[in-house]
Structure 1
Amino acid sequence: MRNHTRTRILAAVAAAGVLLHAVPASAFSDITNDKQAAIVQSLQDKGLIQGISADKFAPNAKLTNAQAVQLIVDAIGLDSAKKKTNAPSWFLAVPQDAWYTGALKTALERGIVIDGQWNANGNPTREQFAKLLYLGLLQKGNYAKVSKYKAIADAKQIAPKNRVAIEYLLLTKIASLDGKKNFRPTDAITRMEAAEMIYYAERMVNKSYASSDKATVIYKVENVDPSFNKVTLTRTNLPGTGYGLKIRKIEFVSDTEAIITYAPTDPPSGGSGTAYPAHAVAYVPIVYDITVKAE
């Protein structure tokens, strides 16, 4: 079944995808997991997160409500809504000069509903953070709708109003279950757990770059249905007409990893022949993490 899926994709369309850059050892001494170090490094490079000191990230510390809202607004790239919604009554008591007030105001304007009273220093649970992130993602595009639920061992602990949000994040690989298939919805979300979700969410909605010495390429991943992501690869800063982009090969190196190799193309000599467009689109199964590289 897996081989049929791969063959269909290879035959159907060229592709590009998400690049998880290799990074040096973590700048934070309290992160020893290589994958987590890469995630934190990527988010830090983009100015989305910072440590609690020069060499400490405190991955197991609880995230605060203020940090959660600021992180989601910044990572997804939300801006003030043209059609503003009425702020809840508790917003009047929020200090207008607080570092998080701008992000909180934007979130509320964009329809990110915050249940209950606001406590900037309170700690959101995993399901509460998932709901806020889900609502933020809905502001950026028409993503896949949840058509069926996954088997979650502790599903009965999830508040009904948060179930779709959690299912959506699981569907799009933004969130994951633990080894016992638990989501742990009522646990306070840690800084590392939030960073992991934000990393995959930001990767889904924002453009990424895969440059070579010959071309600069941007690529964007959009979830379009329960099984596939739409991946758009575009060559920018073209030196003239006729320059384009071509996908050379797609290698499925494991059941969850694929490598996309591209090459920039020059105008055909003599003005004849095939001129490839400066972009390519593919529909890639959501189970694959994709690395994009130049030929």
Structure 2
Amino acid sequence: MKRIFYTTIITLALIVATIIPLTGLSVEASTKNPFTDVKESNSHAKAILNLYNNGIITGTTATTYEPGKPATRGEAALFLANALGLRGIADQKTLFKDVPSSSKYYDAVTALSNVGIVNGYGDEFRPNATLTRAQLAKMLTIGFELLQSTQTKTKFMDVNKLTDEATKQYIQTLVDYGITKGTTATTFSPNMKLTRGQLATFLYNAIEAKSDDLTVISVE
């Protein structure tokens, strides 16, 4: 698996985190498919199997992935941290009361939070809450250090109706990098619950976009 290593060291009350993002995925093992519910015809199959075989995502069981199931905030944090190669350190303090050190999401959530990639709701992270497509756009833009768009008008009619200008820019950033084409040619469905299949495809496309070092073209 190819990686380009760079280190971001942020000290917050003696907490240090290292970000090591993937910039390419091994394709040799991507045909191994333990999931009975991920058929070749599934539009997310390529991303799911590639990321699974590269150790980035996991199934809901040993033989199921449940691509149509809504993705949770905890799952998204875990998979994103795996994709970035980001881990916390052993003596980090719990930031969120609902993500104790015994949680499987603890290292990922704590590390991502300490470098500003994810935020909580006060002293809660709500790992079991569902994630929206717009929320993931922010996580990917910040996590993969994408060149953020300055555009606040997109090709998506439903995005243009949003009042949060930053959210529009995060979504346009994904369009600029070819990470998303939307749910239709003119809609992104920013408030739609993200599925586990969509999460895999977004992550796969982000890794590939970063690997290709695409030239970002702003949309006028």
Q: TM-score, normalised by structure 2?
A: 0.73
Q: Alignment length, in residue pairs?
A: 188
Q: RMSD over aligned Cα, in angstroms?
A: 3.0
Match of 1:45 among 34, 43, 53: 53
Partner in structure 1 of residue 144 of structure 2:
137
1:146 aligns with 2:149: yes
Q: 1:151 to 1:47 in 2, by over 3 A?
A: same
Higher normalized strand content (fraction of residues): 1
Report % sequence identity: 24
Q: Hey, what's the Cα distance between the residues in 2 that align with 1:225 and 1:179?
A: 22
Describe the superposition over 1:166-212 as per-residue Cα deviations: whole angstroms up to 9, x where unpaired: 1111111112212342111111100000000011112234xxxxxxx
How far apart are 1:27 and its partner, in Å?
Answer: 3.7
Amino acid at match of 1:170: V
Contact 2:78–2:108 (Cα < 8 Å) also in 1: yes
Q: Hey, what's the Cα distance between the residues in 2 that align with 1:25 and 1:74?
A: 19
Partner in structure 2 of residue 128 of structure 1:
135
Describe the superposition over 1:256-295 as per-residue Cα deviations: whole angstroms up to 9, x where unpaired: xxxxxxxxxxxxxxxxxxxxxxxxxxxxxxxxxxxxxxxx
Contact 1:153–1:180 (Cα < 8 Å) also in 2: no
Which segments of 5 or more consecutive residues in structure 1 lack a partner in the other structure? 1-16, 82-86, 206-219, 228-295
Partner in structure 2 of residue 7 of structure 1:
none
Amino acid at match of 1:223: L
Q: TM-score, normalised by structure 1?
A: 0.56
Contact 2:176–2:216 (Cα < 8 Å) also in 1: no
Runs of 4+ aligned structure 1 residues displaced above 4 Å come to 17-26
Contact 2:77–2:108 (Cα < 8 Å) also in 1: yes
How far apart are 1:19 and its partner, in Å?
Answer: 7.9
Q: Hey, what's the Cα distance between the residues in 1 that align with 2:25 and 2:118?
A: 32
Q: Hey, what's the Cα distance between the residues in 1 that align with 2:141 and 2:80?
A: 10
Amino acid at match of 1:74: N
Q: 1:31 to 1:180 in 2, by over 3 A?
A: same
Larger of the two Rg values belongs to structure: 1
How far apart are 1:101 and its partner, in Å?
Answer: 0.7
Q: Hey, what's the Cα distance between the residues in 2 that align with 1:19 and 1:62?
A: 25
